């Protein structure tokens, strides 16, 4: 039984990287969990997490990791997450709650529904809208989720008790929880997260294709580095996101190509007035986005 101040006794985190490690560390820091069991493929990464106090013990065996878990968090790249579901279906306790931190929801939910069977109702799909371009447990920080959105995408058959506990978990670390349907999540995050990463990777790839690559690299301006910062993110994670939200991302890339074509036309035509209006409109929208973000920081609840 959880002690006073704890919302769960044993939490198992599969994937002790930036997200999983930060959440585990934040919950331990607040005394909200009794024991955190870490699980992953890299013993070195797990040892580092244990040394930092993010987890209490660890194993590379997911069967052993979930044996005593009251709550299981899947915080791996999406492919690995989906591949772990059959293990949970067979070995997790029937009263355990399962949640995830995957950046794609529709395909994860479909896989969970197919795989988890009777315990699917205790699966609460989630996605914290927070992160950095660094990965691994060494990148974990316990204030990562403070005043950031966490989207939960429960289904009609999701157990309300499970949903309430997962919501409480995220609120314990300072997150703002928002409920959303899975398709809307994938569409919105496709525009606000997946497409920007595609553009960043594409810009770096374009620079790499230049014949005078070394000269270009040595003269990269601050703007280029700012725009492409997220291209330092985990390649495996973004490979999986693009594959599992593929149609949405590809459609957005096609739309973005049309936007660039409109800009190209204005430039080739020497349309000063059109360029001015185009840039002013973008600047105004960008300012409104920043103001909304600042308002959120100033009014966390």
Of the pLDDT bands very low, low, confident and very high (cuts 50, 70, 90), residue 25 is very high
Q: Is the pLDDT score of 5 beyond 80? A: no
Distances (CA, A) of 289 to 197, 223, 282, 296: 18, 19, 11, 11
Q: Are 38 and 49 in contact (CB under 8 A)?
A: yes
Q: Are 55 and 181 in contact (CB under 8 A)?
A: no
Contacts of residue 144, defined as CB under 8 A and 6 or more positions apart, other chains included, come to: 18, 19, 22, 23, 26, 130, 131, 132
Report the candidate in 153, 151, 233, 146 with the shortest Cα–Cα distance to residue 196. Answer: 233
Task: Identify the residue whose tokens are 């409104």.
Answer: 288
* pLDDT tens digits, 26-47: 999 999 999 999 999 999 999 9
d(CA 214, CA 192): 32
What pLDDT is stored for residue 180 in this prediction? 97
d(CA 158, CA 160): 6
Contacts of residue 150, defined as CB under 8 A and 6 or more positions apart, other chains included, come to: 126, 127, 128, 129, 130, 170, 175, 176, 177, 178
What pLDDT is stored for residue 297 in this prediction? 62
What does the domain layout of the chain look like in residue ranges?
A: 8-180, 185-270
What pLDDT is stored for residue 222 in this prediction? 81
What is the average pLDDT score of the chain?
93
What pLDDT is stored for residue 97 in this prediction? 98
Torsion, Cα 87 92 95 96, to 10 degrees, reads: -90
* pLDDT above 70: percentage of residues in the chain: 95
Give me the half-sphere count of Cα atoms (radius 13 Å) on the Cβ side of residue 155.
17
Listed in sequence order, the DSSP H helices in 71-121 are 78-91, 106-116
| DSSP string for residues in 34-71 | EEEEEE-S-HHHHHHHHHTTS-SEEES-HHHHHTT-SE
| DSSP string for residues in 162-219 | HHHHHHHHHHHTTPEEEE--HHHHHHHHIIIIIHHHHHHHHHHHHHHHSTTHHHHHHT
Give me the half-sphere count of Cα atoms (radius 13 Å) on the Cβ side of residue 57.
11
Q: Is the pLDDT score of 3 beyond 90? A: no
Mean pLDDT of 98-125: 97
What pLDDT is stored for residue 301 in this prediction? 54
Q: Are 14 and 75 in contact (CB under 8 A)?
A: yes
d(CA 266, CA 274): 6
3-state secondary structure of 264: helix
Instruction: Indicate the pTM of the whole model.
Output: 0.90
What are 180's two structure tokens? 């959303």
Q: Give the residue with greater pLDDT, 297 vs 180.
A: 180
What are 260's two structure tokens? 């660039």
Of the candidate CATH numbers 3.40.50.720, 3.40.640.10, 3.40.50.1100, 3.40.220.10, the domain formed by 8-180 belongs to 3.40.50.720
What pLDDT is stored for residue 170 in this prediction? 97
Q: Is the pLDDT score of 223 beyond 90? A: no
What are 253's two structure tokens? 């890339």
Q: What is the CATH number of domain 185-270?
A: 1.10.3660.10
Mean pLDDT of 236-263: 96
Q: Is the pLDDT score of 6 beyond 90? A: no
Mean pLDDT of 184-201: 96
d(CA 187, CA 46): 34
* pLDDT tens digits, 70-100: 999 999 999 999 999 999 999 999 999 999 9
């Amino acid at each position: 039984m959880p002690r006073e101040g704890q919302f769960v006794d044993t939490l198992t985190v599969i994937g002790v990287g930036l997200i999983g490690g930060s959440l585990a560390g934040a919950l331990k820091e607040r005394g909200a969990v009794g024991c955190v069991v870490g699980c992953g493929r890299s013993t070195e990464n797990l040892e580092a997490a244990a040394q930092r106090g993010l987890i209490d013990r660890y194993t590379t065996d997911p069967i052993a990791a979930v044996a005593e878990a009251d709550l299981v968090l899947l915080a791996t790249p999406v492919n690995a997450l989906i591949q772990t579901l059959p293990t949970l279906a067979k070995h997790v306790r029937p009263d355990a709650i399962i949640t995830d931190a995957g950046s794609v929801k529709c395909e994860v939910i479909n896989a969970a529904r197919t795989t988890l069977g009777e315990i699917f109702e205790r699966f609460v799909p989630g996605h914290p809208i927070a992160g950095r371009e660094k990965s691994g447990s060494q990148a974990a920080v316990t204030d990562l989720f403070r005043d950031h959105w966490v989207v939960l995408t429960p289904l009609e058959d999701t157990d309300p008790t499970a949903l309430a506990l997962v919501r409480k978990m995220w609120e314990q670390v300072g997150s703002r929880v928002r409920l959303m349907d899975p398709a809307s999540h994938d569409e919105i995050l496709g525009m606000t997260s997946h497409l920007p990463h595609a553009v960043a990777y594409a810009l770096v790839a374009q620079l790499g294709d230049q014949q005078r690559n070394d000269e270009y690299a040595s003269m990269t301006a601050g703007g280029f580095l700012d725009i492409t910062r997220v291209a330092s993110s985990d390649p495996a994670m973004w490979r999986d996101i693009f594959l599992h939200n593929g149609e949405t991302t590809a459609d957005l890339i096609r739309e973005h190509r049309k936007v660039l074509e409109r800009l190209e036309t204005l430039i080739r035509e020497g349309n000063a007035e059109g360029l001015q209006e185009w840039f002013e409109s973008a600047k105004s929208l960008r300012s409104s986005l920043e103001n909304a973000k600042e308002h959120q920081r100033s009014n966390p609840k």
